[in-house]
């Protein structure tokens, strides 16, 4: 039993000794080859012949004339010392790559055949072998991101598009403290224009001026800034030119940053408390503050201690316990002015209050947070109204309570 526990293997010691000898021999040969190459370079320099290749040669790469021309394009070569060092490194690597590796050498980055055969043998003997897959992202953030992406795709899938189509994307990055307070709040957005009929290439896009107040606005460089400032209208500087066809053209960006709690559209309070039995009772409640929004596919992801299944007592919506990611996923289909609050209560054994943070939140909405609204689209010359379609989506990049 003592021999088995010590795992003292004579074969393994022999293998390690052989491997160390091979590594020493390889290092010695590399040093000798480097000295030989250095001596050849010095002899070539004394004879006035060309030195071994250096950075100064015009081989493929970036040049002063632009991307894609040949050479690093220096009028004089690199210094003699740098050239020698570079040539030794390149030549040594090429020789080492050309020489086939020893069968008993240590292989990195590949799967050993010996390991495969050993695993197969264990499987044949009835042992259960775990499949070592690449590490997945953190459970809470990956679950919230997946839910947000699926909801975003569902909203964008069933939209009828006219020859002139407007798309408003609004994004939220929110970080709230568990005891209250806003650590980060940023809303950013992009208005894109897509035209598929050349008859409507030369147009003006009028926005509602009341909805852009308080935002940091930035127009595309080709958009007439003075026209936008005076009339909240988007048009090209050269009105004689049309917008590009069949391309999503970003014409306006905006940004809004705040530390005011009134800017937060959805507040979430998580109250874990010690139950006196080594575990915690947790109460979570949400409330919609921005009641002009209708939030869809809301997901609140609560981290849990490892291998501890929660006991859920009361809840709105639905929930799912993911034992693999160690999270409790709470889903609410819609949060709006008529259904603006809800709560969940559950308990966990073998836990402390800090185990339930940070909470990750995701949702989507067809109403943009910033309120950028298209008022009208008209042709440049006749100012005739142009039929257009539009879509708006508000989504979460990060929304967490820490």
Element (H, E) at 394: strand 389-401
Q: 138-402: which CATH architecture?
A: Sandwich (2.60)
pLDDT in tens, 94-135: 333 444 444 443 334 444 444 455 545 555 555 544 444 333
Model's pTM, two decimal places?
A: 0.62
Each domain of the chain, given as residue ranges in start order, spans: 138-402
**What distances in angstroms separate CA 50 from CA 25, 42, 44, 82, 83, one per listed residue?**
32, 11, 7, 15, 11
State both tokens at 288.
Answer: 């919609």
Omega prior to 358 cis, within 30 of 0: yes
pLDDT in tens, 180-222: 999 999 999 999 999 999 999 999 999 988 766 678 999 999 9
For residue 312, what are the contacts with CB-CB under 8 A and spacing of at least 6?
Answer: 319, 328, 344, 345, 346
pLDDT of residue 265: 97
Q: Is residue 354 predicted with pLDDT exceeding 60?
A: yes
* CA 38 – CA 42 distance, rounded (Å): 6
């Amino acid at each position: 039993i003592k021999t088995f526990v010590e795992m003292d293997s004579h074969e393994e010691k022999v293998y390690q000794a052989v491997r160390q000898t091979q590594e020493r021999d390889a290092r010695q040969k590399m040093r000798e080859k480097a000295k030989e190459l250095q001596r050849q370079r010095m002899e070539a320099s004394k004879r006035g012949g060309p030195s071994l290749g250096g950075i100064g040669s015009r081989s493929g790469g970036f040049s002063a004339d632009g991307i894609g021309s040949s050479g690093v394009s220096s009028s004089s070569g690199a210094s003699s010392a740098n050239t020698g060092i570079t040539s030794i490194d390149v030549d040594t690597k090429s020789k080492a790559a050309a020489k086939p590796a020893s069968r008993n050498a240590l292989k990195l980055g590949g799967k050993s055949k010996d390991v495969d055969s050993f695993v197969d043998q264990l499987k044949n003997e009835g042992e259960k072998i775990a499949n070592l897959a690449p590490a997945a992202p953190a459970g809470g953030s990956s679950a919230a991101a997946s839910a947000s992406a699926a909801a975003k795709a569902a909203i964008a899938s069933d939209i009828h598009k006219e020859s002139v189509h407007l798309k408003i994307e609004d994004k939220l990055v929110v970080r709230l403290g568990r005891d209250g307070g806003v650590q980060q709040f940023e809303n950013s957005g992009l208005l894109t224009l897509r035209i598929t009929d050349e008859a409507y290439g030369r147009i003006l896009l009028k926005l509602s001026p009341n909805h852009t107040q308080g935002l940091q606005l930035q127009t595309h460089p080709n958009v007439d800034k003075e026209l936008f400032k005076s009339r909240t209208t988007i048009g090209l500087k050269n009105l004689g030119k049309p917008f590009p066809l069949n391309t999503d053209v970003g014409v306006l960006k905006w940004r809004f940053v705040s530390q005011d709690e009134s800017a937060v559209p959805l507040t979430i309070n998580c109250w874990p408390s010690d139950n006196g039995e080594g575990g915690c009772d947790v109460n979570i409640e949400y409330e919609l503050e921005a009641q002009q929004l209708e939030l869809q596919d809301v997901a609140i992801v609560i981290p849990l201690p490892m291998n501890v299944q929660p006991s859920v007592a009361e809840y709105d919506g639905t929930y799912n316990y993911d034992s693999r990611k160690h999270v409790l996923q709470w889903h609410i289909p819609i949060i709006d002015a008529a259904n603006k609050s809800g709560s969940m209560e559950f308990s966990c054994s073998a836990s402390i209050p800090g185990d339930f943070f940070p909470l990750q939140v995701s949702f989507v909405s067809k109403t943009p947070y910033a309120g950028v609204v298209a008022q009208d689209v008209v042709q440049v010359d006749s100012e005739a109204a142009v039929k257009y379609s539009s879509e708006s989506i508000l989504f979460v990049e990060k929304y967490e309570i820490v």
